[in-house]
Structure 1
Amino acid sequence: MLQLAKGLSLLCASLVFWACASAVPPSRIADYVPADQPSDPSLLTSEPRLRAGLVLISDTSAPDAAPNLPDEAMMKLGEELKQEISQVLPVTITDVIPADGIRPLDGNRAQLADLAKKHGLDYLAVVVLSSTEQEYPMSVFVGWTTHMVPGFRRDNWSLLEFALLDVKDGKVLMRADGRGWATLDRPTVPDINQWYPVVWLRPQEPARRYWPPTYEGAPNTLRVVSFNQAARRLTTSLQHAWTDQLEEGSAARRNS
């Protein structure tokens, strides 16, 4: 009975965590690509392989937004997304374009189109990055089970939102997103134990851990791990979206 109660407790905690994570952070892409912008997903199946630029927009405008990824981590994430998008969609990402000057919409809907034209592109893959964090005190185990010391736990929820734009006609060819979650545990003082600070994935992979290279840089490692999880899920979401478009196109041809 005790084991059953523990199992139910863990299940409830997991369900609550996932329910919260599915809405945190809230979507930010409408501040850059309006929700009412016309869509035309059929272009992906009717045109030869498209050539597009990739722009990563780090949105920290929300009151509870976490800090930006470090520049080096942003560059690495951009290169990884460049490869992944080119593999799962009929799109060749030619360049990762700096998002200099791109701001949340203030009535200017042309800023992304202007950016694409500046680089001689007809298509633009937009990825908006956002995340939020919550830190609270807790006790951490030193030696895992024998002794506990004061510490902190920080949870990070990250979101990558994707839109593929036809900048000539002002249409959206595809939308997708991916979410990530990660946790940082650390004692209140550095160098107290070789196992801390530690970043881990919960509740999905609690045994998988990452050790930040420094105590001070641990929050950045947390954000990198969380966004890497979001990138994996974005890739899966793009694969599903592309498969759905192919199936819809095939069904339409059969019925015509």
Structure 2
Amino acid sequence: MRIQVRSIWLALGLLSLTACASAVPPSRMADYLGPQAITEPSVLHLPTERPIHAGLVVIADASAPDAAPPPPDEAVNRLAQTLKEQIGQHLPIVIDKILPADGLKPAGDIASFRELGKRYGVDYLAVAVLSSTEQEYPIYVFLGWTAHMQPGFRRDNWSLIEVALIDVNAGRALLRAEGRAWATLDSPSAPGINQWYPVVYLRPQDPERRFWPPTFEGAPNTLRVVSMNQAAKRLILSLQDAWLHKLRTEMNPAQG
């Protein structure tokens, strides 16, 4: 009976943790575009000429109070290329160019994004905001497949990618979607077991899939890249759903 009760409490605890993680980190899109701009008014429809040609700007945000450091610039650039390709493959949207994010701040005003789009001659701009948060706490790490343990630490990373497709001329968002992911880094407190640690794995969706960072010092960056890449995969699915929902709403406004 005690085992059953304990199992129930563990299950409830996992559900509670998962529910909390679903809102971590919080959305940052309104901090950049403003709450009014990301509201999707029913009068603003998707363009009839498709595919939609747009620019893409990717912002690695670390301005929130509990924000983790962003992935390295090289990883952000690779992610921008991946988003460009995946959006083009799965949606009737062609990303013609990737625009620089220099000078874009969380000012809560879409004006700077409209200026960016007009400067580069695009009528539509896909704005992607990357954000994440982390926590670190002590654990015991197992040595290989044995029962021996030694002190270590675990770092959890929750990543979020938000995308808004904005009409540069109208100054409003046509479409919004997000993708979230959670990954974990386990490391020993002392060196000497490099054949097993540090290791990054996905939680809770695929805990058996592991990634070994190339260096101990660079392990936190590997964690952030793995987590953000998983968020990108979920973003594309969410973006497809948002597109279909938008189409259904336009065909039958009563269902919106």
The Cα shift of 1:13 comes to 3.3
Distance 1:82 1:156, change over 3 A: same
Provide the rounded CA distance (Å) in 2 between the counterparts of 1:238 and 1:209.
27
For residue 163 of structure 1, what is the amino acid of its counterpart? A
Provide the rounded CA distance (Å) in 2 between the counterparts of 1:248 and 1:131.
32
Provide the rounded CA distance (Å) in 2 between the counterparts of 1:5 and 1:228.
38
Q: Does 1:140 align with 2:137?
A: no
Where in structure 2 are the equivalents of 1:107-256 lying within 5 Å?
108-251=109-252
Distance 1:49 1:62, change over 3 A: same
TM-score normalised by structure 2 residue count: 0.91
Where in structure 2 are the equivalents of 1:62-81 lying within 5 Å?
62-81=64-83
The Cα shift of 1:46 comes to 2.5
User: Alpha carbon RMSD of aligned pairs, Å?
Assistant: 2.2
The Cα shift of 1:47 comes to 3.1
Provide the rounded CA distance (Å) in 1 between the counterparts of 2:181 and 2:57.
20
TM-score normalised by structure 1 residue count: 0.91
The Cα shift of 1:18 comes to 1.1
The Cα shift of 1:43 comes to 3.0
The Cα shift of 1:143 comes to 2.1
The Cα shift of 1:243 comes to 1.6
Distance 1:190 1:95, change over 3 A: farther
Contact 1:151/1:185 (CA < 8 Å) preserved in 2? yes
The answer for the alignment partner of 1:26 in structure 2 is: 26
The Cα shift of 1:163 comes to 0.4
Contact 1:190/1:215 (CA < 8 Å) preserved in 2? no
The Cα shift of 1:6 comes to 6.0
Contact 2:158/2:227 (CA < 8 Å) preserved in 1? yes
The answer for the alignment partner of 1:88 in structure 2 is: 90
The Cα shift of 1:144 comes to 3.6
- Residues 150-194 of structure 1, C-alpha deviations (whole Å, 9 max, x = no match): 111000011111100111111211011111100000001234241
How many residues are paired up? 253
Contact 1:44/1:90 (CA < 8 Å) preserved in 2? no
Provide the rounded CA distance (Å) in 2 between the counterparts of 1:98 and 1:52.
14
For residue 50 of structure 1, what is the amino acid of its counterpart? I
